[in-house]
Amino acid sequence: MVHQYKPRLLVDFDGVIHRYSKGWHDGTAYDEPMPGALDALEDLIERGYEVVIFSTRDAEQIAKWMITWEFPRLRITNIKEPALAIIDDRAIQHISWAQTMAVVKQSYDI
């Protein structure tokens, strides 16, 4: 039996698939999908990627939400697994420490 390799993409749930307009709010997946999320995930799957949903949320809650909104059934994890890329709305692209620190100071400094 030959296993066909599929490059893995980890896709964050909140703010990437789930609109998340009120932030964590009450801990539920309360919002509609982000525009284009369903089409994009289906396209990635058709292109041969293994798409895995990554979130700290309860996997059952995400699975139920995805069924409600007619998303494909995808594996859900809270573990940062090895992947070709992670698609996340709260990531900082590191190019240099000077650039990274500028983004942190501008976006997150308290």
pTM for the whole structure: 0.88
For residue 77, what pLDDT is reported?
98
> Using CA atoms, how far apart are residues 29 and 14, in angstroms rounded to an integer?
8
> Using CA atoms, how far apart are residues 79 and 10, in angstroms rounded to an integer?
10
Asked whether residue 48 is assigned to any structural domain, the reply reads yes
Give residue 85's domain range. Answer: 8-108
> Using CA atoms, how far apart are residues 80 and 29, in angstroms rounded to an integer?
21
Asked whether residue 26 is assigned to any structural domain, the reply reads yes
Q: How many C-beta atoms lie closer than 10 Å to residue 41's C-beta?
A: 23
Q: How many C-beta atoms lie closer than 10 Å to residue 30's C-beta?
A: 13
Asked whether residue 83 is assigned to any structural domain, the reply reads yes
Q: Count how many domains the chain has.
A: 1
| Chain centroid to CA 40 | 12
Note down pLDDT in tens along the chain; length 110 residues.
777 899 999 999 999 999 999 998 998 999 999 999 999 999 999 999 999 999 999 999 999 999 999 999 999 999 999 999 999 998 888 899 999 999 989 988 86
CATH of the domain at 34: 3.40.50.1000
For residue 3, what pLDDT is reported?
78
